[in-house]
Amino acid sequence: MAAILKEIEEESVDVKKEEGIMEGKIPTVSIIIPVYNAESFLARCVDSVLGQEYTDFELLLVDDGSKDRSGALCDAYAASDSRVRVFHKENAGVSAARNQALSEARGTFIQFLDSDDWMTPDSTKLLVRAAEENDCDLVIADFYRVVGERVSRKGDIEEEGVMSPEEFAAHMMESPADYYYGVLWNKLYRRSIIEEHALRMNAEISWCEDFMFNLEYIRFAERITALHAPIYYYVKRKGSLVTTQGTSLSKTIQMKLGVFEYYHNFYKHVLDEEEYEKNRLQLYRFLVDAASDGLVGIPLLPGTKKLGDERAGVSATALAGEGMLSDLYRERKLMQRYLEVAALKNDLTPSEAYLLLCLSHLGGTVNKKELADFAGVSRSALTMQLQKLVLRGLIKMEDIPMPKPVRSKKEKGTEKDETLQKTSEKRVRVTFQLEAEPILRELATVQRDYDETRFAGFEEEDLIQYARLTEKMKRNMQKVLAPAH
């Protein structure tokens, strides 16, 4: 513990100066973490928040009467980063801790974490972008579930675009006790709705209190969207704030009955009478499912991976290296990192997503050999990826007829040598289909994020010169790839 505190002090950064966060400025997001006896894993959680790409936030740490040194660790973070605010209180449970933070929050949006979990580096950025681009009141996202050294991705809603509360409720009825719907930490909320309707956690119960909060919030959320990208690592652990240890059996039964009644009334409010009667049997599934978190044991889940392998690997040696090869490696890994989210969301590999991005840059007519070089893949891999994109209905390919060989005369001194003019390799015309349009928009955003990170600190004149050079390179590339006439 002492080593952790010393490390925080040594790496203390004045974020007010570095990030331009002025005293009194209202942050876009308030991130809330209730803390209780979390000394052994709190640093991982808080470091993931403070080290993420998004910076316009405040972090509210509520020490709920911890008996270990969690409180001191919270204070050390507050001393080293002006975005961190700490509140110490007597132990009253996770709901009371979250409620105090809600009363202190200043952000436009609210995001929750549990102290034994952690977020992905792009978590808050993706949630806020989804909320702002869709003008939504609630964003719900996929997450990773961690058991030991194994990790798997979890999501539920595949629908694109904006949903109404009724449409969202219909999805929830399919898996009524799924953590995806019930928990707080894979969602982004509007604070104005929470305050306008005085929404708070029920501190009298310690089972499904977050689910009840969500049900109440959804009633007032007019626009909801699902983010098909994992933004959170969830670890199930004993002895945390959310367990019901010490609660009597009779009280637990009463709590569960109360939650079921709440769930029942929620659907009566959201659905009209005919729809309610039609779906009544599904409502009763909640009693059956509610004892579990709606997740299959992790070894049985498809796509389960070793923790750390769920995202693209990076060589620390190459990242720290110097020279052209290290620069190219860093740029490639940076692009791969940004592509991962768009690829996961659209059931593509990062290589397939990058190929779509390359095609969008190069135009409609391409030479396969040169395209393979440009995308950094073998000819055989390129053929397979193109075929998959065709089968997905994302692109359409059309072979361009090869021009007939033309005889030409070439002078060599006084001699005339007839040679057969070489023709270029087989070319194809690639057309993007309607299905690809939303993916291409996401890839354009990926390109912007990549450029913003790559060119951070560039002066305007540097960017102008680089843009000119890039445009010149693009014209040259298109000229090289243009069909011969």
Residues 35 and 148 in one domain: yes
Query: Domain end: 300, 326, 355, which one?
Result: 300
Residues 289 and 371 in one domain: no
Query: Domain end: 248, 275, 300, which one?
Result: 300
Return d(Cα 74, Cα 84) in angstroms, integer. Answer: 9
pLDDT mean over 165-175: 80
Residues 242 and 345 in one domain: no
Burial of 141 (0-12, 13-18, 19+ CB in 10 A): buried
Segments forming the whole domain that contains residue 317: 312-403+421-481
Residues 353 and 256 in one domain: no
> Higher model confidence: residue 131 or residue 309?
131
Residues 339 and 209 in one domain: no
Sequence-distant (6+) residues with CB within 8 A of 253 are none
**pLDDT at residue 485, rounded to an integer:** 47
pLDDT band at 245 (very low <50, low <70, confident <90, very high): very low
The pair of three-digit structure tokens given for residue 22, joined into one six-digit string:
């002025």
Residues 343 and 285 in one domain: no
CATH number at residue 242: 3.90.550.10
CATH number at residue 388: 1.10.10.10
Cβ atoms within 10 Å of 149's Cβ, excluding its own: 10
Please report whether residue 413 resides in a domain. no
Residue 165 to residues 216, 217, 224, 229, 327: CA-CA distances in angstroms? 11, 10, 7, 21, 48
Q: What percentage of the chain has pLDDT greater than the value 70?
A: 64
Residues 274 and 347 in one domain: no
Please report whether residue 415 resides in a domain. no
**pLDDT at residue 478, rounded to an integer:** 53
Residues 242 and 374 in one domain: no
pLDDT band at 418 (very low <50, low <70, confident <90, very high): very low
Q: pLDDT tens for residues 182-223?
A: 899 999 999 999 999 999 998 877 667 788 788 889 889 999
| Range of weakest confidence among 167-181, 386-400, 430-444, 452-466 | 452-466
Measured in degrees and rounded to the nearest 5, phi and psi for residue 119 equal: -105, 160
The SS3 of residue 395 is: strand
Please report whether residue 88 resides in a domain. yes
> Higher model confidence: residue 3 or residue 70?
70
Average pLDDT, the chain: 77
pLDDT at 443 over 70: yes
Please report whether residue 189 resides in a domain. yes
> Higher model confidence: residue 220 or residue 8?
220
**pLDDT at residue 22, rounded to an integer:** 43
Q: pLDDT tens for residues 126-160?
A: 999 999 999 999 999 999 999 888 888 899 898 88
The pair of three-digit structure tokens given for residue 474, joined into one six-digit string:
């693009």
Residue 155 to residues 211, 309, 349, 353, 399: CA-CA distances in angstroms? 17, 18, 18, 21, 39
Q: What is the CA radius of gyration of the chain?
A: 27
Residues 89 and 216 in one domain: yes
Q: Are 330 and 319 in contact (CB under 8 A)?
A: yes
Residues 246 and 345 in one domain: no
Query: Domain end: 247, 274, 300, which one?
Result: 300
Q: pLDDT tens for residues 357-372?
A: 888 888 778 888 878 8
Highest mean pLDDT among 61-65, 148-152, 330-334, 339-343: 61-65
pLDDT at 388 over 90: no
Q: Does the pTM exceed 0.75?
A: no
Residues 196 and 87 in one domain: yes
Q: How many domains does the chain have?
A: 2
**pLDDT at residue 49, rounded to an integer:** 98
Residues 320 and 439 in one domain: yes
**pLDDT at residue 114, rounded to an integer:** 96
**pLDDT at residue 244, rounded to an integer:** 42
